[in-house]
Structure 1
Amino acid sequence: MCRKMAAGLGKRPMLLVVPVVLVLLLPDGTVPVVQAQQSSDRTGAIIFPDELSTRYEQERETLAKEKRESSRRRTDEASDELDEDDVRYDYDNGSEEFYGLPIDYARQLSELNSTSDILNLLDPDSIDQRIFMDGGEYSGRDIGVNPVPAACEPDSQLVSLRPENLTSSRYYYYPSCTRVKRCSGCCNTNQLVCEPVANRTILYKVNILEYRSGKRDKFSHFDLVPVEEHVRCKCQCRVKEWHCTERQVYNPNNCRCECTNKEDRNRCLQERQLKQWNPNTCTCDCLPRNEECTSGSHYDRSACKCLPQKPWPGRSRNQSLEERRKLIVKPSPVLPDPY
C-alpha cells in the first residue's frame, strides 16, 4: 500500500513557486516618496509629491469648512446666554466683540517661547500632531515657517535725541537718534497691553555742532539728553481704574469697568427691538435708524421711534377750519398824523 502511494506521488507534476519582483520604471527626475506614516485606507501605498499636495489641499479645505460651521453653531447657541460681562459693543467699528479668553490664560500664552509649546495646552484629540512634526506626511512646501512668538519683553527701538522745539537749522544734534530698550510684544487679547514694570533713565551726551557753509563744522557744546529705558515688561490691563465713570466700578480681574446701574440695563433689554445697552457709558441708546420719519411726525430719542407732531399751543386738534378763519384779521391802513 505504501509503495503504491509513493509511486503515485512520484508521477504527479511538481509545482515550482518562483517569487516575482515588480520593477516600476519612473521618468527621469521623478522621485517617489514613501511615507512612514500612511493613511489607514492606503497602507503601504506609494505617495507622490503632486498627489500628496492635492490630498492635503482637499483635506485642509474640508477641515476648515467643518471648523467654520462648528464655530458658527457654537456662536448661535451661546448668543442668547451672553451678558454684559461677555459682550462689549465697539462703537468705533459698529460691531460686537466677544471677550471669551480669560485674562490669566492670555498672560500664560504670552510666556510661551515657541509654537510647539502650545501643544501641551491643547486637547490632543482636537489636532493631528503630524502637522507640527518635521517630516512625515504634512511636510515640505505644505507647511510654512513657524513664527517665533513676540513675547512681551524689552526690545530695541528708535528714540530721537533732538528736542521737539528745535527750530534753528544752524545747529544740529549728532547723533540725532539712538536705540534703547522699550517694551513691545503680543499679549494675545485686546484687553492686555505690554507695559514696563521697571525702568531707568539714561543720560546721553550728545554733540551740538554748528553748520558752516564752505567750512568745516564747528563743535559748540555737549547736551545731556535724558532717555527712559525699560528694564522689565509685563502684560497689564489696557483699561485702568481711572478710565471708569461714576456709574462704573473697576474689575481688575477682567480688566474692565463694569456698570453698577443693573436695573437700567434690565429695562433696556426689555426694549431690545428699539434700544441697546452700551456698557462703555452705562446708558440705554437707540438702535441705528433705518428710515426717516414721515411728514407730520418727528423722531423721539427717549422712545427711539417716530411720534406724531404735537399741536401748536392754544390750538385744539379738533378745531375746525372755520373757527381758525375767525382769528384772521385784515390789515387796515393808518393815516399819519398831520401835526
Structure 2
Amino acid sequence: MRAAVYPLLAGCLCLLRTAAEESPLPRELLERLSRSDIRSISDLQRLLEIDSVENEVIQDDHKDVSHGNLKREHTPTHTRHRRSTVVDEATPAGCQVRTAIYEIPRRQVDPASANFLLWPPCVEVMRCTGCCNTGNVRCQAARQRQRTVKVAKVEYVRRRPKLREVQVTLEDHLECVCTNRHNNGIR
C-alpha cells in the first residue's frame, strides 16, 4: 500500500506546477493545497480524500544523487521496486530560513572604482528558501534584520597593495511565509 503512494506525490506535484500556469484543476483544490501543511504522501492523500493510489514508476533522468551524503532528520521510509532499487519517500523542502551563500557585489563596497579585491568575496547569510504547496504562492521573508560585517578591501596604488577594512551591510531573513505571487499579501 505504502509503495503505491510514492508516485502519487510526484504526479500531484507535477499537476500542481502546471496548474499554476494552465489552471486545469479547480481553484478550490489549489487554494486548499496552498493553505495546507503537507509533510507526507499520507497527508496529501487525506487532504485530497483519496482512498487508494495506483503505483506508477516514473523514470528520472537525473540519477547523480549520492544517498550517502544526504542528511536526514528521520529514518527514511523506502520500498523496493523492480531490479531491487531502493526508493525513498520525498521529503518536502518547506519554506524556511536556511543558510545561503551571498557574493558581496563590488559596487556595494565602492561603486566608483574597479581596481580592488575583496576578502572574503562571499559570506553566509540566512535566507528564506523552499517550496510552498502550489505555484501560486512563493516563499518570502516575513521578518528580516540588517547586520554589518567587516571585509578587507585591497587596492593597488602605484603597483603596491593597500589594505583597508570596509563595512558591508547584509540582510538576514528571520521568518518566512508563503505569499500569493499576484498580490504579495501574506496568507
Change (3 A) 1:149 1:235: same
In the alignment, does 2:120 pair up with 1:175?
yes
Secondary structure of the corresponding residue to residue 33 of structure 2: helix
In the alignment, does 2:91 pair up with 1:148?
yes
Q: Partner of 1:233 in structure 2? A: 176
Mean CA deviation greater in 200-209 or 97-106? 97-106
Q: CA deviation at 1:133?
A: 6.3
Q: Partner of 1:4 in structure 2? A: none
Secondary structure of the corresponding residue to residue 193 of structure 1: strand
Q: Residue deviations 1:5-61, cap 9 Å, x none?
A: xxxxxxxxxxxxxxxxxxxxxxxxxxxxxxxx9xxxxxxxxxxxxxxxxxxxxxxxx
Distance 2:137 2:36 in 1: 12
Secondary structure of the corresponding residue to residue 127 of structure 2: strand
Amino acid at match of 2:147: I
Please, what is the CA RMSD of the aligned residues?
A: 4.2
Q: CA deviation at 1:224?
A: 1.4
Q: Partner of 1:190 in structure 2? A: 135
Bigger radius of gyration: 1
Asked if the contact 1:115/1:148 (under 8 Å) is kept, the reply is: no
Change (3 A) 1:231 1:133: closer
From the two aligned structures, give the one with the greater strand fraction. 2
Amino acid at match of 1:239: H
The two structures have a TM-score, normalised by structure 1, of 0.36
Q: Partner of 1:105 in structure 2? A: 33
Q: CA deviation at 1:139?
A: 7.5
Query: Could you list the runs of 5+ residues in structure 2 that have no partner in the other structure?
Result: 2-7, 12-18, 58-75
Amino acid at match of 1:222: E
Asked if the contact 1:206/1:223 (under 8 Å) is kept, the reply is: yes
Q: Partner of 2:154 in structure 1? A: 209
Identical-pair percentage: 25
Q: How many pairs were matched up?
A: 151
Q: CA deviation at 1:118?
A: 3.6
Q: CA deviation at 1:175?
A: 0.9
Q: Residue deviations 1:254-313, cap 9 Å, x none?
A: x9xxxxxxxxxxxxxxxxxxxxxxxxxxxxxxxxxxxxxxxxxxxxxxxxxxxxxxxxxx
Q: Residue deviations 1:51-109, cap 9 Å, x none?
A: xxxxxxxxxxxxx9xx9xxxxxxxxxxxxxxxxxxx99x6xxxxx43353332432314
Change (3 A) 1:190 1:128: closer
> How do 1:28-107 and structure 2 match up within 5 A?
96-100=22-26, 101-107=29-35
Q: CA deviation at 1:167?
A: 5.5
